[in-house]
Amino acid sequence: MGTTTAVITGVHAWVPDYVLTNAELASMVDTSDEWITTRTGIKERRILKGEDQGTSVIGIEAVKGLLAKTATDPAEIDLLICATTTPDMLFPATGNIIANAVGAANAFSYDLQAGCSGFLFALTTAAQFIVAGHCRKVVVVGADKMSAIIDYQDRATCIIFGDGGGAVLLEPSEEDLGLRDALLRSDGSGEPYLHMKAGGSRRPPSLATIEAREHYVHQEGSTVFKFAVKNMAQVAYEIMDRNGLKAEDVAFLVPHQANKRIIDATAEKMGIGPEKVMLNIHKYGNTTSGTIPLCLHDYEKQLRQGDHLVLAAFGAGFTWGAVYLRWAYDVN
Ligand code: UT7
């Protein structure tokens, strides 16, 4: 019997219907389609509208689709981890809400927060439960309703972010497939450059925090950009190098979609061409924990069993990382 690995056996994603275009943003703040397109690669993003609609709405739709697609009985799920930076509430965990709504009555569930690297951190964590033999079916959700914490008067941040997410099913395999390596990093000294000042225990909500617009994302874009380019590219390169992967071995880079220029720099450092880079930033913008499962979903039909994939992300914290996996199935 071979070594047990955790393999992705299905993926599904979901985005809300409302399309926020660059043209609409240009009517709200001093910006233009030309500026947004050339600086970020984004043309439009999705927004979850309506009262009492939280990140769980995205997660529930993604997981319901995943269970249907993989013909999985929700009662068989052992664990559900939800990577999110925009939970429905501070507590209970959005993962608990999703698990309950999809009927995963035998699963334990929790949230994991690692900014835009959340999905990779959650995927790596989930794989440990499988490899250790504690769980056989694990759902990993990456979902965010970024519009809940974006200041639509701040042109430097409102143009980037959108709402959406996806989910994957992880199961054990004895074949030479699945998660092979992970290189995860964090550096809390990044806090001043990307954070939400109020709403947590350090600065609970008050009239003063609301008037100061402290419940929105604060991002020093160019500083974050420099860290992201350097670190996402480095970690993607390093995971290839330490696994003896050459550019021609890699079927796809699956990058976090924050800015097309960061993605291009990562691909360049890896020595791979644009045809091997999953890209959907033009449609969805930066959905934080949602970007990587959204990419896997959009490109699922192009993936073949045995493909070598490098997943890479950078986000608030700072957090960053890369995962190397071999894809486990073909879609017929
Ligand atoms: O998701 C994980 C973490 N986040 C990221 O990875 C995001 C990283 N950062 C970025 O993607 C980029 O920094 C941004 C897209 C946020 C900004 O692009 P930039 O090329 O770094 O612009 P900048 O912040 O250096 O600003 C350049 C100029 C400034 O004007 P001045 O001072 O040169 O006159 C800004 O005021 O562009 C101006 N500007 C804009 N102009 C038109 C900033 N935002 C806009 C805008 N429209 N939306």
pLDDT at 2 > cutoff 80: no
Q: Rounded mean pLDDT of 274-289? A: 98
Centre of ligand 1 to C-alpha 5, Å, is 41
* CB contact at 8 A, 169 and 9: yes
Establish whether residue 55 lines the binding site of ligand 1, counting it when its CB lies within 6 angstroms of any ligand atom: no
Pairwise CA distance, residues 95 & 148, whole Å: 18
Centre of ligand 1 to C-alpha 164, Å, is 22
pLDDT at 332 > cutoff 80: no
What are the φ and ψ backbone dihedral angles of 260, each rounded to 5 degrees? Answer: -60, -30
| Strand blocks (E) in 39-162 | 44-47, 79-83, 108-112, 138-145
Instruction: Tell me the per-residue pLDDT of 56-96, one tens digit each, with 9 for 90 and over.
Output: 999 999 999 999 999 999 999 999 999 999 999 999 999 99
156 CA closest ligand 1 atom index? 44
With pLDDT > 90 as the criterion, what percentage of the chain qualifies? 99
Beta-bridge partners for 97: none
The DSSP call for residue 161 is B
Instruction: Please report, for residues 4, 9, 185, 186, 280, the alpha-carbon distance to residue 131 in angstroms, rounded to integers and kept in the order given.
Output: 6, 15, 21, 24, 31
pLDDT of 281: 98
Look at the block and give the residue holding tokens 């609409």.
Answer: 24
Establish whether residue 119 lines the binding site of ligand 1, counting it when its CB lies within 6 angstroms of any ligand atom: no
Beta-bridge partners for 171: 7
CA proximity to 236, closest of 253, 260, 215: 253
25 CA closest ligand 1 atom index? 48
* CB contact at 8 A, 219 and 156: yes
Q: Which residue has its alpha carbon closest to ligand 1 atom 39?
A: 156
Single-letter amino acid, residue 153:
Q
Tokens of residue 58, six digits: 């995205």
Structural domains in the chain, sorted by start: 5-176 (3.40.47.10), 180-277+305-326 (3.40.47.10)
Decide: pTM greater than 0.85. yes
Beta-bridge partners for 120: none
Look at the block and give the residue holding tokens 């420099």.
Answer: 226
Q: Rounded mean pLDDT of 272-280? A: 98
Residues taking part in catalysis: 116, 256, 286
Instruction: Tell me the per-residue pLDDT of 318-331, one tens digit each, with 9 for 90 and over.
Output: 999 999 999 999 99
| Confidence tier at 1 by pLDDT (50, 70, 90) | low
Instruction: Tell me the per-residue pLDDT of 107-152, one tens digit each, with 9 for 90 and over.
Output: 999 999 999 999 999 999 999 999 999 999 999 999 999 999 999 9
Establish whether residue 189 lines the binding site of ligand 1, counting it when its CB lies within 6 angstroms of any ligand atom: no
Average pLDDT, the chain: 97
Q: What's the sign of the alpha-carbon dihedral 138, 296, 142, 313?
A: positive
314 CA closest ligand 1 atom index? 2
Q: Rounded mean pLDDT of 190-199? A: 98
What's the longest Cα–Cα distance across the chain? 62
- The kind and range of the H/E element at 33 are helix 33-40
Three-state secondary-structure class, residue 3: coil
Nearest-10 crossing angle of helices 33-40, 260-270: 20
315 CA closest ligand 1 atom index? 2
Pairwise CA distance, residues 240 & 261, whole Å: 21
The DSSP call for residue 114 is B
pLDDT of 197: 98
Centre of ligand 1 to C-alpha 222, Å, is 6
Establish whether residue 236 lines the binding site of ligand 1, counting it when its CB lies within 6 angstroms of any ligand atom: no
Instruction: Tell me the per-residue pLDDT of 158-184, one tens digit each, with 9 for 90 and over.
Output: 999 999 999 999 999 999 999 999 999
Establish whether residue 35 lines the binding site of ligand 1, counting it when its CB lies within 6 angstroms of any ligand atom: yes
Establish whether residue 229 lines the binding site of ligand 1, counting it when its CB lies within 6 angstroms of any ligand atom: no
Pairwise CA distance, residues 48 & 54, whole Å: 8
Three-state secondary-structure class, residue 316: coil
Which residue among 154, 219, 259 is best mutated to probe the pocket of ligand 1, counting the most ligand atoms within 8 A of its Cβ?
259
Pairwise CA distance, residues 48 & 38, whole Å: 26
Establish whether residue 159 lines the binding site of ligand 1, counting it when its CB lies within 6 angstroms of any ligand atom: yes
Tokens of residue 176, six digits: 């030479």
